[in-house]
């Protein structure tokens, strides 16, 4: 039986590239790479490792074919943050609506929280997204996300533009 919970969804956007100080590079070895047409099993690994604690569910029930159609689209950009050679975070920027880039997913695996990686990763993803030439960058977050997510988005220049209540399916093992 599927359970759902009511959440508050906050919609945020940037209408211009923010001018922010460059966040300090983490002390550990980091690499940020675009995963071009990643295998669906790799994408699912990242999606589940990073999103499960926050009930990311929208892609969990897609077939491999349906998922590949999205993540292999030339206007969908998947970025992976590696820390000491291991995948630590992922971001997905969707530019299929030509004028609007949407940060569909962004996060770090739980074992990489609290190390200053989120700010560094997000600042770089914002720069990469704006380099694609959109007129605005938007994202949404909800009350199931990490408590530091919304404040971090706002510190890096996102402005709330709407807030709504919604229902989210809870992940059950």
Q: Which domains are assigned to the chain?
A: 4-169 (3.40.630.30)
Across the chain, where does the E strand assignment appear? Answer: 4-14, 30-34, 76-83, 86-97, 100-108, 136-142, 159-169
Q: What sign does the CA torsion over 172, 63, 143, 20 have?
A: positive
Q: What is the pLDDT along the chain (173 residues), one digit of tens a residue?
A: 578 899 999 999 999 999 988 888 898 999 999 999 999 999 999 999 999 999 898 898 899 999 999 999 999 999 999 999 999 999 999 999 989 999 999 999 999 998 889 999 999 999 999 999 999 999 999 999 999 999 999 999 999 999 999 988 787 76
Q: What sign does the CA torsion over 132, 135, 137, 140 have?
A: negative
Q: What sign does the CA torsion over 32, 53, 92, 139 have?
A: negative
Give me the helix-helix angle, 64-71 and 40-51, nearest 10°: 90
């Amino acid at each position: 039986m599927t359970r759902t919970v009511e959440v508050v969804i906050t919609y945020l956007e940037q209408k211009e590239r923010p001018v922010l100080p460059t966040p300090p590079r983490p002390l550990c070895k980091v690499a940020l790479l675009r995963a071009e047409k990643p295998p669906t099993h790799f994408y699912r690994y990242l999606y589940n490792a990073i999103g499960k604690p926050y009930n990311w569910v929208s892609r969990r029930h897609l077939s491999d074919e349906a998922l590949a159609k999205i993540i292999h689209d030339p206007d969908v950009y998947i970025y992976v943050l590696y820390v000491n050679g291991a995948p630590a975070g992922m971001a997905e920027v969707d530019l299929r609506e030509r004028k609007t880039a949407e940060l569909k997913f962004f996060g770090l695996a739980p074992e990489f929280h609290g190390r200053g990686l989120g700010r560094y990763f997000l600042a770089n993803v914002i720069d990469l997204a704006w380099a694609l030439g959109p007129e605005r960058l938007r994202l949404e977050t909800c009350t199931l996300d990490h408590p530091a997510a919304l404040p971090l988005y706002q510190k890096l220049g996102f402005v709330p533009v709407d807030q709504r209540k919604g229902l989210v399916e809870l992940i059950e093992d």
